[in-house]
Homo-oligomer: A and B are copies of this chain.
């Protein structure tokens, strides 16, 4: 199964280049597990599905540390039938999960409860797309049920769900949504924006 993300960092400052270059080092601990490519629009990371959100969290925390208003936008995908299988994407801890919806929801809630706190409050909104299945709305509603029990649920919006809280549990919640909903070997995409230090409240 192929898994990865196209990630963009948007620091709302004249020194956006400096903020981005200063944050990139946060990906160093992940480099041995990822293939990484950058162009003018985004950085591609391809690697184990359960490391994608921890890597994005660390990158975003590094960019937000100076207090500048920053947004991370990402298109995250697993199981796309248009991509070749890649051994680099093998789940490290067997993250694929084919238990019934209720068991997956309970396991996801437990994972979020144990996520380390970071001290950085963020707001996030995302959409989950389980593709190619006739039951995509069942998986979406199951995921929304989990989100409401995650402790970082803010509200449902049109086309997406908004989370708010410490970056640790917020990124853990996003990771659980991505890993545990939609068929285990199916095609799942996730469209994400995370914001820190916004002048219009986080």
Residues of chain B lying within 8 A (CB to CB) of residue A75: 127, 159-160, 191
User: Assuming the A-B contacts A41-B125, A44-B157, A159-B189, are A82 and B13 also in contact, with contact meaning beta carbons closer than 8 angstroms in the complex?
Assistant: no
How far is A162 from B41 in the complex, measured between Cα atoms in Å? 9
- Given contacts A40-B123, A189-B129, A193-B41, are A69 and B158 in contact (CB under 8 A)? no
A94 close to chain B: CB less than 8 A: no
Residue interface bits A157-186, CB-to-B below 8 A is 1, else 0: 111101000000000000000000000000
Q: How far is the CB of A133 from chain B (nearest CB, A)?
A: 8
Out of B12, B123, B157, name the residue touching A6 (CB < 8 Å). B157
Q: Apart from A73-B193, A131-B136, what 11 extra A-B contacts exist at CB < 8 Å?
A: A4-B158, A6-B160, A10-B12, A12-B12, A16-B69, A40-B201, A42-B125, A44-B157, A130-B131, A132-B134, A189-B191
CB distance from A64 to the nearest CB of B (A): 14
Query: How many copies of this kind of chain does the complex include?
Result: 2
- Chain B residues, Cβ within 8 Å of A159: 4-6, 75, 77, 80, 189
Contact A71 B129 (CB under 8 A): no
Binding site for B on A (CB under 8 A): 2, 4-6, 8, 10-14, 16-17, 39-42, 44, 46, 69, 71, 73, 75, 77, 80-83, 123-125, 127, 129-134, 136-137, 140, 157-160, 162, 187, 189, 191, 193, 195, 198-202
